[in-house]
Amino acid sequence: MENNTPDYTYQNVVQLNDADASRKFLANVFLWMFVALGISAFFAFFFASNPALYASIRGTGLGTIVMLAPLAFVLIISFGFNRLSYGVLAILFIAYAVVMGISLSFILLAFTASSVLGVFITSSLLFGVMAIAGYTTHQDLTKFGSIMIMLLFGIIIASLVNFFLHSSGLDMIISYVGVAVFVGLTAYDVQKLKRIGAGIEYGDASANKMALMGGLTLYLDFVNLFLMLLRIFGRRR
């Protein structure tokens, strides 16, 4: 998601110092993240608590589309960042949050409500602590982030292999490593977004698009952290 920012003619842009720009940019980033999480949570609960709706997608072609659609949305948003307008990206992000929520309803129904709630609270605390750490640390996390990204690719490859092996032991290893990776990526991504925010002029359309992409990044960090913890601590029905 690294992009070369083109030259723009700035009009009616509020010039801010680095600290103010960074805080306002991050506020926009977290706003997008929380909006997306709220939308996903609503649709996950709505479909999980509505047997008729759930039955209409479970085990059907529509259900397969719902499970695969989130990846398609992420690819479209990522590769269309420079070409698509802010409004179109916003609509795609909201649609992505809706589809992700529907797909999460399949997973949430496999676990007890109390364990889902407990894991959600744990995920929120871990995410919050690492987000604060990433924002406040003076240590450059660039190399650390590169290691986390390499481990993430390792998790993806191992998950694909285990799709065919069905090894419970490997699945548990992937889950523990996944928790460590997404905890680390949270701190790295927040620091990176803080630096991005300090280097832009708040109010420009490109800043809004970058805030949306930042929200998507942190949303993915949180959701994946939640899912990894759920695989470890969640109690199945």
**Non-local CB neighbours of 118 within 8 Å, separated by 6+ positions:** 233
pLDDT value for 4: 46
236: three-class secondary structure by DSSP: strand
Say if residues 118 and 126 touch (Cβ distance below 8 Å): no
pLDDT value for 198: 84
Residue 110 to residues 1, 48, 223, 230, 235, Cα–Cα distance (Å): 33, 10, 17, 10, 8
For 157, counting Cβ atoms within 10 Å of its Cβ (0-12 exposed, 13-18 middle, 19+ buried), the class is exposed
Q: Tokens in use for 219?
A: 């949303």
Mind listing the pLDDT tens digit of every residue in the chain (237 residues)?
A: 444 444 433 344 444 456 777 888 999 999 999 999 999 999 999 988 887 877 777 766 677 777 778 888 888 998 888 899 999 999 999 999 999 999 898 888 889 989 999 999 999 999 999 999 999 999 999 999 999 999 999 999 999 999 899 899 999 999 999 999 999 999 999 999 999 888 875 556 688 899 999 999 999 999 999 999 999 999 888
CA dihedral 58, 64, 70, 72 (to 10 degrees): -160
pLDDT value for 81: 87
Q: Whose structure tokens read 């590769």?
A: 79
Q: Could you tell me how far CA 141 lies from the centroid of its own chain?
A: 19
Residue 97 to residues 36, 118, 160, 206, 207, Cα–Cα distance (Å): 5, 22, 24, 22, 21
In whole angstroms, give the CA distance from residue 25 to residue 211: 6
Say if residues 103 and 67 touch (Cβ distance below 8 Å): yes
Say if residues 193 and 27 touch (Cβ distance below 8 Å): no
Instruction: Write down how long the chain is.
Output: 237
pTM, to two decimals? 0.87
